[in-house]
Copies of this chain bind each other. A is one copy, B any other.
Amino acid sequence: MVGPTDDLDLIGRRTAQRACVVRALIDHGGFVGARALHGILESQGARVGLNTVYRTLAALVGAGRADVVRDRGGERLFRHRPFPEHQHYLLCRVCGLSTPVDSEAVESWAERVAEASGFAEVEHTVELTGLCPRCRSHPTY
């Protein structure tokens, strides 16, 4: 396990704003959009520009310290990734709660398909979404 400090080292200069963004992303735990994260920071009294939130998240993704998925509306949702390994998640469509899933089977499947295809530089995106037990009971307040 690593902390926010390690993330900051990977993405350039250490600024108060980036520290806030990384801190908030880690605290949130699940997948969260840039605008929502910016809202959280505002409610904490942290003065960080939305643009900086976007840039910091992009930097984290580039450094392999965050994962990205697209929600139904096409918005990008980010989640901090404490470990360097490639991950896939099952996430709740309502609250963003996410749990890593064992993706051994898909990884090997994707590799097999890629080889048989004649295509080069094959990449894959795999996303599972559903309703978590908690949101499942709630009558969508």
Contacts and interface: CB of A to CB of B under 8 A. Distances in A.
Interface of A: 70, 74, 76, 90, 92, 99, 101-103, 105-106, 109-110, 113-114, 117-133, 136
Given A74-B74, A125-B125, A130-B114, A119 B92 contact: yes
- Oligomeric state, in copies: 2
Contacts of A119: 90, 92, 130-133, 136
B90 A122 contact: yes
A53 B113 CA distance: 33
* Most chain B CB atoms below 10 A, which of A76, A92, A99, A113: A113
Given A119-B130, A121-B131, A126-B126, 14 more contacts: A90-B113, A92-B119, A105-B105, A105-B109, A113-B128, A118-B132, A119-B132, A119-B136, A120-B131, A121-B130, A123-B129, A124-B127, A124-B129, A126-B127
B128 A123 contact: yes
Contacts of A101: 113, 117
